[in-house]
Amino acid sequence: MFRRQVLTMALGLGAALAMSGAAFAEQAYIPLVSKGFQHQFWQAVKSGAEKAAKDLDVKVSFEGPETEAMVDKQIDMLAAALAKNPKALGFAALDSKAAIPLLKKAQAAKIPVVAFDSGVDSDIPVTTATTDNKAAAALAADKMAGLIGDAGEVAVVCHDQTSRTGIDRRDGFVERMKSAHPKVKVVSIQYGGGDHLKSTEITKSILQAYPNLKGIFGANEGSAIGVVNGTREMKRKVVIIGYDSGKQQKDAIRSGAMAGAITQNPVGIGYKTVEAAVKALKGEKLPKVIDTGFYWYDKSNIDEPKIAAVLYD
């Protein structure tokens, strides 16, 4: 009788522990603080994060400032997320240095930080889920050079010069032109904060300043749409290469207004960020960078299944 009671108690304790473990898994909270919320790219990242949360039985939140110029607001969001004592954190930095003091607090509290899309100039993140932006922008440079006869003036409209993605896309494009296409000259690099309206005005000023310009690279969704709109308003025909996807870019490529673009895998970025956070919580070893891939797409391959799977509306 006594042995049966002990066994029953042990089984009951085991069940209770299992239930508490399951409850912990359900309650593990992982906020993702993004660079923005307005672009379709970020909505796709969000959907990937939410799918991973469902698959891995954790709770996530996803937020970012209204525009990618709001560094201070993003820092406030990061502080608020950390105040909720999350189990882990996903962070896409608008300013790769400004967030470091807060990330040090996360590290001190043993909250694993997973960087996504845009890395941080620090070894605090346990990994970074991102596109190889330098390589992707180098491919954009090669495509641009091929389309303009490997000679002439081109410009870059970039989202910022503080985030890792802004820096790497700018440098990847410029450095490839210098090394592989010496007759192509990058005559202007301007920053529009990823805002299509501001990028439109910047594009118009570039076109006025350089009447012989042959091409413009728009380094993210908002930048690329601004370039398309600016060239249309100025009635100028130049080769436009974009970055990211979204309905407006896809429409511009189908119409011929944009020659082509680099697409990332935003759903994959969101999924891999949450997956990496869960692995970090379990003490699993992670690579320094999780390369989520990129593709070139234009009118010729936009409807191919492999490409269509990584485009988004």
CB 108 within 8 A of CB 85: no
Per-residue model confidence as pLDDT tens digits over 225-272 = 999 999 999 999 999 999 999 899 999 999 999 999 999 999 999 999
CA angle 271, 122, 280 (to 5 degrees): 40
Per-residue model confidence as pLDDT tens digits over 193-202 = 999 999 999 9
Average pLDDT, the chain: 91
CATH number for region 133-263: 3.40.50.2300
Can you give the pLDDT at residue 27?
66
Domain ranges of the chain: 28-131+266-293, 133-263
Euclidean distance between CA atoms 165 and 184, whole angstroms: 23
Residue 203 identity:
T
* Spatial CA neighbour of 99 closest among 125, 84, 80, 120: 120
Report whether pLDDT(219) > 90. yes
Express as a percent the part of the chain with pLDDT over 90: 84
Per-residue model confidence as pLDDT tens digits over 164-184 = 999 999 999 999 999 999 999
Per-residue model confidence as pLDDT tens digits over 153-165 = 999 999 999 999 9
Beta-bridge partners for 179:
none
Least confident of 17-26, 105-114, 130-139: 17-26
pLDDT mean over 117-123: 88
Note the pTM of the prediction, 2 decimals: 0.81
CATH topology of domain 28-131+266-293: Rossmann fold (3.40.50)
Can you give the pLDDT at residue 274?
98
Question: Same fold for the domain at 28-131+266-293 and the one at 133-263?
Answer: yes
Report whether pLDDT(15) > 80. no
Cα 240 to Cα 224, 229, 255, 262: the distances in Å are 8, 11, 12, 12
Per-residue model confidence as pLDDT tens digits over 59-94 = 999 999 998 889 999 999 999 999 999 999 999 999
Query: How buried is 201 (Cβ within 10 angstroms: 0-12 exposed, 13-18 middle, 19+ buried)?
Result: middle
Express as a percent the part of the chain with pLDDT over 70: 91
Report whether pLDDT(19) > 80. no
